[in-house]
Amino acid sequence: MSTQSDTRYNYQTPEGVQLALSLAGPMVRGAAWLIDFVIRVICYLIAAFLLELFGGFGTGLMLIILFIIEWFYPVIFEVRNGMTPGKQAMGIRVVHDDGTPVFWSSSLLRNLIRSVDFFPFFNITGFVTMLLNSRFKRLGDLAAGTVVVYTREDDHQFSIPDYPAQPPPLPLKLDEQRLILDFCERADNLSTSRRHELATILVEFTEAKLPENGLLSYGNWFLKGKSNNESKPV
């Protein structure tokens, strides 16, 4: 899925990590909504066909099912994994402005306001609001503090900067090795001052004059240069 017509949204966490989120625009979100709409219609038709056999009781039960599906279909999926089946098909998901998963409260709020976004018909208000907003937010997103972003399989696949591999001066426990690898994985997303600050905290693991260089050497050794006859973690 191309993201050429969309923009990137950069958010800096309190730890100094820069998150780059690819914002999903009106067209791909509209396609996702259409897929979800077709799924809901199919559910309505199946429920109506089955409940027609129960007469008046079936009609009342059908109204309850309509209410539940219409209002809680998106909420359940968004809270579970951030995306409805339509969004999953289009490769997008809902997150908070800071990139964290949506909660029940935020998902409920953004979907309750869908009725306003739909006014006067076919999500015209929501469409115009997204066009006027740099983050493509409809009214529900503005109220709930959420954005819709692209989901890529490589979002959670980290790599560390290439640096000459060097074993640490002392054997390290697995959690200490993981701590160093965490630093290395995020090094490219940290500012120079923040990277040096964090590396100084881990100075006990390195004897290098520049702590971040020593940590990068150890990280590369953990991933590339470690062999069976070298010291093992304790």
Structure tokens at 101: 């998963």
Residues 105 and 213 in one domain: no
Give pLDDT tens digits for 118-150.
888 778 898 899 989 888 999 999 999 999 999
> What is the rounded distance in angstroms from the CA atom of residue 208 to the CA atom of residue 200?
11
Residues 151 and 179 in one domain: no
Give pLDDT tens digits for 169-225.
777 777 777 778 878 877 877 777 777 787 777 766 665 566 788 888 888 887 765
Residues 144 and 45 in one domain: yes
Give pLDDT tens digits for 64-117.
999 999 889 999 999 999 999 999 999 999 999 888 889 999 999 999 998 898
Residues 101 and 210 in one domain: no
Number of domain units in the chain = 2
Whether residue 233 lies inside any domain: the answer is no
Helix (H, G, I), strand (E, B) or coil at 186: helix
Give residue 11's pLDDT. Answer: 66
Domain around 30:
8-155
Residues 73 and 149 in one domain: yes
Q: Which residues contact 186 (CB under 8 A, 6 or more apart)?
A: 17, 158
CA-based nearest residue to 145, from 3, 11, 2, 43 = 11
